[in-house]
Amino acid sequence: MSPDTIILSPHFDDAVLSCWHVLAGPGEALVVNVFAGEPPAGTLGWWDRLAGASDSAAAVQARIQEDRQALALAGRTAINLPFLDSQYHQSDQAPEEIVEALRGVLGALLVESAQIYAPATLGDQHRDHTAVRAAALALHAEGAKVMLYADLPHATVAGWPQWVLEESSAETDRAGEQWAMQLEATGVPVERMVATTHRLPAAVHASKVEAVLTYRSQIAPLQESFGASLEDLQLLGLEVDWRLPQT
Ligand SMILES: [Zn+2]
């Protein structure tokens, strides 16, 4: 196995929600779901409760199946790491442990050849995304090629920045300011990052929506939390990433 691209997906659906242009594009892409561990029987996390589950162990098993089906639509597969989603525990996940686990499954690929995609952790900044970003930044410091992606739909809780929409208005660009501040927190100067906006063509957007809706258990809680239909072009029709400078 020697993928050109490794997409670090904190949860089962993040790669599909945010990096469909990569999954649907050419080349060998592999997804690594980081917080894919099964909690002990009898656990019920808040997000799973919102999704209508009664047992989180069963919910994770169902999400693994949904993920397999969704990724298969793009001819892709995933590796699942055993870290527990933050809804199942209080403390933050140490990024060093994520780096070690990634080394264990991917070895030299990580730093020597593959292009790594990791969440930029924008908008409401989910703490599991923050931990994965920190792991990717640690690999970047060792020389890995890293791209950060706008993690949808979290990233747009304040809307899209004006530069993404190619609009300018007299109003304050709240989303733009928020993204700039949050990217600055990576320690990599924003002016050295190369941003690209991907406007998904209609057919690609349609295939993305089909894949997103394959995560059946997640449709209701995502739509409820982010206040928009997953089919809304404004929500998932654009994808943005940043190439970090090589160290
Ligand atoms: Zn996530």
> Tens digit of pLDDT per residue, the chain (247 long)?
578 999 999 999 999 999 999 999 999 999 999 999 999 999 999 999 999 999 999 999 999 999 999 999 999 999 999 999 999 998 899 999 999 999 999 987 887 779 999 999 999 999 999 999 999 999 999 999 999 999 999 999 999 999 999 988 888 999 999 999 999 999 999 999 999 999 999 999 999 999 999 999 999 999 999 988 999 988 999 999 999 998 7
Residue 1 is predicted with a pLDDT of: 57
- At the topology level, CATH places domain 5-243 in Rossmann fold (3.40.50)
| Angle at alpha carbon of residue 36, lines to 30 and 40, rounded to 5° | 160
117: Cβ–Cβ under 8 A, 6 or more apart, which residues? 5, 6, 7, 8, 15, 19, 22, 146, 147, 148, 149, 241
45 C-alpha vs ligand 1 centroid, how far in Å?
Answer: 14
Per domain, the residue ranges of the chain are 5-243
**Alpha helices (runs of H) in 4-126, residue ranges in sequence order:** 14-18, 20-23, 46-50, 56-72, 95-106, 109-112
CB 5 within 8 A of CB 115: yes
CA of 202 to the centre of ligand 1 (A): 25
pLDDT of 109 reads 80
Q: How many A from CA of 2 to the centre of ligand 1?
A: 25
SS3 of 134, please? helix
- Side by side, the strands of the sheet bearing 145-149 are 78-80, 29-33, 5-9, 115-119, 145-149, 238-243, 194-199
Give bridge partners of residue 82 from the DSSP assignment.
Answer: 35
pTM: 0.96
Report CA(27)–ligand 1 centroid distance (Å): 24
Which residue from 38, 155, 120 is spatially nearest to 85, judged by alpha carbons? Answer: 38
For tokens 């994770």, name the residue.
60
